[in-house]
Amino acid sequence: MSRRTSPVIPGFGLTLGYTLVYLSLLVLIPLGAMFVHAAQLTWEQFWAIVTAPRVLAALKLSFGVALAAALLNGVIGLLLAWVLVRYRFPGRKIIDAMIDLPFALPTAVAGIALTALYAPKGLIGSLAAEIGLKIAYTPLGITLALTFVTLPFVVRTLQPVLEDIPREVEEAAACLGAKPLQVFRHVLLPALLPAWLTGFALAFARGIGEYGSVIFIAGNMPMKTEILPLLIMVKLDQYDYTGATAIGVLMLVVSFVLLLLINLLQRRIETP
């Protein structure tokens, strides 16, 4: 005689319907409307807009600095997560709380603070100017702002994974004669790599669309330090809604393809 089991959370049909409606209203319908609006353009018109030199320069800059910031945070975030998980020291909880500061701090405030600090007349910017290094109003300054904003994604993704790896595994590998680099490569890296790719993808995706923390430190010079979200805002200010939509579609498609490739790579790594 079979016994019917009830689900832990009742009302599957209702909750599924609510989820689909909620997702459609917030994500699917707005994105679909953007594609519908862009469909008013012919292919020649759309191609002329997205291949304009100013758009291509902004596209290259936005994706380039987002990639650089995500890679930089991949290293810094791993080190921070390792220190917070593996060591106990005074002030650890304060540092752990400060990791989430970019989530709580308005991005515009972060951009103003970074600009004041790294501008040619700022505290650090003036010191850098003495050795001939300009930080603010350059791609370096944009990368710095994106690194600040996207750091929590990598740290918070890696922390739970590191906490689940017993220290005894590392000690056993060391007792068998493995050097620290071999322990990291053959014991820790296989377990950390999927989570690292997830944190990298989240940081990369956030960096591509970041606006508030970048707008002040970028300088917004066309063909040099103009990011793609700012170019969309410029199109909207000029009432060029079709051009803004075309650039938004381009940004969405490129982002989706890159994130899809990262997810496929992550799935391939997780599959034994």
User: pLDDT by residue (tens digit) across 196-243?
Assistant: 988 998 899 889 888 888 988 988 888 899 999 989 998 888 888 888
- The pLDDT score that the predictor gives to residue 149 is 93
What is the CA 107 to chain-centroid distance, rounded?
14
User: Angle at Cα 19 formed by Cα 17 and Cα 20, nearest 5°?
Assistant: 65
User: pLDDT by residue (tens digit) across 36-47?
Assistant: 888 888 899 999
Residue 53 φ then ψ, to 5°: -55, -40
Return the C-alpha torsion angle 84, 86, 89, 92, nearest 10.
10
pTM, two decimals, is 0.85
Domains of the chain: 40-270 (1.10.3720.10)
- The pLDDT score that the predictor gives to residue 38 is 85
- The pLDDT score that the predictor gives to residue 48 is 92
- The pLDDT score that the predictor gives to residue 9 is 59
Q: Residue 7: pLDDT band by 50, 70, 90 thresholds?
A: low
CB 213 within 8 A of CB 148: yes
What is the CA 269 to chain-centroid distance, rounded?
21
State the average pLDDT over residues 264-271. Answer: 76
Percent of the chain with pLDDT over 90: 31
- The pLDDT score that the predictor gives to residue 79 is 92
CA atoms of 139 and 65, how far apart (whole Å) = 7
Tokens 């320069």 locate to 57
- Which of residues 169 and 130 earns the better pLDDT score? 130
CB 255 within 8 A of CB 86: no
